[in-house]
Structure 1
Amino acid sequence: MKLSSAFIAVVALVGVSVNAQFPCASSPVRKEIRSLSSQEWGRVSKVLRTMQDSGWFGWFAYMHNQNYLIVHGSEYFFPWHRRYIRDFESVAQQIDRNFVLPYWDELRDYANPAGSAVMSSKYLGGNGQGSNRCVTNGLQGNWALSFPNRHCLQRQYNGGNRINSWSSPESIQSILSRSTKMSQLRPGIEYSLHGDIHIALGGDMLKPYSPNDFVFFLHHANLDRLWSLWQIMNPVQNFWSMDGVDNNGRPIGYGTPLPHYNDPIISTMRLGMNNMCFFYDNGGSVTSRSLDKRDTTGQKCIPRPPAAIPALVEGVFNDVNALPVPADAYVHTTIAQKLPAPVLNKWFPTYTPGVGLNNTVSYSAADIPSTPIYSNTPPVGNVSGECKDNSLYNSAEVYSEEYHAFDLASDAKGGPKYPMPYSSPMTDSFIKMHNYPMSEIRKQRALALEFVRDMNAAGYQSPFAKGATA
């Protein structure tokens, strides 16, 4: 007798006693790093230096190194990293009970990452210097790391002195909106924004021991925040979603123990419960009542309207570090106001209730601008480190006519200033290091190409792209 996946999920849910989970005594709020007061950042810096002196950075780098092939490329990805960075935060709180792990809202910096205040001497320092690519300024400037051997913290930007643009807020919002289960969300995020930052910074971040760089924890806290946002976008559909398989093809579910920790996956799925004693500064809360609801109509749930966003003037994008709301929150409103219905329905279905995910979209003449707003010319040279001999991609896939680079010539002539490229494809070495399945990489790549093509046809320009030509 065959059992439906929905029935199996319900049985599993009951079996691990979801309603018996234990609330945290307190759950501090994780904030975006640039919103920390000088006192708060000073506390974070002091604790991290103590952890470095005590050998904790070496320990966490070692643990990630031991498990990275297990927890990447499978649905372990989100729950394991949530548990892992919470472990890091818990150790820090043994040093200072008021420590709270910040996150980096990387999306607001996507067009010019190297220009972010986060990569300045005020916070985490910049590019590596000299033949060894050692970071010499910022929090970890001139640190002597212990794993896998004694060395300086290394970074090597993938654009020389710049960092190539990575996934846009719009592309990540689309993934959140059209993913209806964990096995869709995970590859969508892991093979885009997750890989973008590791590849962009290079050095230690390109190694299995990437937690040597504190950027790792800021980055994964942001990915965890995005998972949390996705969970509460549609609590009935998304919150307890945990389908998929491990790298050996074995099913993963609520009771599956996390590698190294052996905690069941379900213990990580609800913030403010069990050991997940934290929230995010822009995340809503989910009540037990809302989690008990089930969609009995067979129709898509109507999402809550987005919270009111402070009025923003165009000038704020001269300094994205000063943006008063997360990038994903801002583009949510921008997209809803500016995209035509066909594009909105296809790529942002939770913004348009009642529209299916697999609908066919056709454009009218009014939907398509008469003049393309993106460059059709691939950049000169190998800007991202891929497409060398023996590349896992072929030239047609990567450098197609849909490559929407920043069109500097057009900008110089007074043309569009805010184009929206998709992120660079992951490099061969990164794919091989994680043993990522090429079939899934190619699938995500095709979706990214189609997404940008449709956004191009709709005439949408990301307000966050100004940084690339500033």
Structure 2
Amino acid sequence: MYSRKNQRNLTRTEKKRLVGAILELKRSGRYDEFVSLHRQYYVTDAESRPRPAHMTPSFFPWHRRYLLEFEKALQSVDSGVTVPYWDWTQDNTPAASLWAEDFLGGNGRAGDRQVTTGPFAYAEGNWRIRAGITDERFLRRDFGRPSAPVTLPTKAEVDRALSDPVYDAVPWNSVSITGFRNRIEGWGIRGVRGVGNHNRVHRWVGGSMAGAASPDDPVFWLHHAYIDLLWTRWQKAHPRARYLPDRAPAAGDPQRGRIFALDDPMPPWDAKPSQLLDHSRLYRYV
């Protein structure tokens, strides 16, 4: 059992060890494998193939396993490192501690949005974006997207999602109007609501975080650790609620074979959502 801490409570040594482990994964090539995996499974609901990771009920369990695999890789470098979480309802400005020079570095510069501060700055020589994913070789950020402003989600918006007693709802995709999953994942629904929560954070950071290769920005992991924590909070608030769908859609349903019910093995690990509902034997949030 280990703990995942709020990033604002990390000690200087804990930050240094986390950054060091991430940079070692990058040097070894393993980090880019995680980026490629996320790109591979960023399947939209406009596509006819299975989509375990996004616009789908298995958004939470898929990313929980993804974070666990990344954490395991970090711990193979430094056994004392865990993934911290970023509560963007509190640490919601460019001056927040996670953007410090000794941690993730700050915003991108004007023009090309290149990050020039911190250990992941291109000029430091340790963080080169792999060719073929974007045209740039450097990490990019565009906090708040001044050209079309975006704000980080508020506690009230998160609380609204946490109050929904149903996990997910038909049509089990990006236009599910109700259900905790899509309220947190945050796909905008015309006439109902705009882009919210998880998705809006990706947009607010911008640059490298705005696309399918979003793990190119190490803040991805802190963001998704918070998303994982919110799932835990929702489960505690609704102890009788269950993962839905608990059975595969019926024959003839357009989602059959495209989404993952409670006991359907999710690629690439063949892990079932039912195996990922409870993390309490592995880690806790503090």
Q: Which residue of 2 aligns with 1:51?
A: 25
* Cα deviations by residue, 1:224-251 (Å, 9 ceiling, x for unpaired): 000011111232x13x423277995126
Say yes or no: does 1:280 pair with 2:262. Answer: no
Deviation at 1:163, TM superposition (A): 6.8
1:119 partner letter = W
- Tell me if structure 2 keeps the 8 A contact 1:147–1:209: no
Larger radius of gyration: 1
Q: Contact 2:185/2:197 (CA < 8 Å) preserved in 1?
A: yes
Map 1:91-240 onto structure 2 (within 5 A): 91-110=73-92, 113-142=93-122, 143-146=127-130, 148=132, 151-160=137-146, 164-183=150-169, 184-191=179-186, 192-235=196-239, 237-238=240-241, 240=242
Contact 1:114–1:163 (Cα < 8 Å) also in 2: no
Between the aligned partners of 1:60 and 1:147, the Cα distance in structure 2 is 15
Structure 1, unaligned stretches of length 5 or more?
Answer: 1-26, 282-470
Aligned partners of 1:257, 1:227: CA distance in 2, in Å? Answer: 20
Structure with the higher fraction of residues in helix conformation = 1
Following TM superposition, by how much is the alpha carbon of 1:148 offset from its aligned partner in structure 2, in angstroms? Answer: 3.3
Are 1:242 and 2:244 an aligned pair?
A: yes
Deviation string, structure 1 residues 144-164 (Cα, Å, up to 9, x no partner): 122535711111234339974
Higher relative contact order (CA 8 A, sep 6+): 2
TM-score normalised by structure 1 residue count: 0.50
Please say if residues 144 and 150 of structure 2, whose CA atoms lie closer than 8 Å, have aligned partners that are also in contact.
Answer: yes
- Gaps of at least 5 residues in structure 2 are 44-50, 170-178, 187-195
In terms of mean alpha carbon deviation, does 68-77 or 143-152 score higher? Answer: 143-152
> C-alpha displacement at 1:266, in angstroms?
1.2
Please give the alpha-carbon distance, in whole angstroms, between the structure 1 residues aligned to 2:85 and 2:30.
19
Point out 4+ residue stretches in structure 1 off by more than 4 angstroms.
244-248
The 3 A distance-change label for structure 1 pair 161 and 29 is farther
**Which is worse superposed, 197-206 or 218-227?**
197-206
Picking from 271, 276, 281, the partner of 1:268 is 276
Residue in 2 aligned with 1:434? none
Q: Residue 180 of structure 2 aligns to a residue in which SS?
A: helix
Question: C-alpha distance in 2, partners of 1:129/1:39?
Answer: 28
Match of 1:255 in 2: 263
Q: Tell me which residue corresponds to 1:87.
A: 69
Q: Secondary structure at the match of 2:23?
A: helix
| Secondary structure at 2:94 match in 1 | helix
- Please tell me whether residue 29 in structure 1 is matched to residue 3 in structure 2: yes
Matching residue's letter, 1:269: L
Q: Summarize deviations over 1:34-87 as a string: whole Å, max 9, x none.
A: 101111111111111111111122111100000011221111211101110111
Overall identity of the aligned pairs, in %: 29
For these two proteins, the number of residue pairs brought into alignment is: 248
- For residues 91 and 140 of structure 1, do their structure 2 counterparts lie closer, same or farther at Cα, with a shift above 3 Å needed? same
What per-residue deviation string (whole Å, max 9, x for no partner) do you get for residues 215-274 of structure 1? 111001100000011111232x13x4232779951263221111211111111111134x
RMSD over aligned Cα atoms: 2.3
Change (3 A) 1:147 1:104: farther
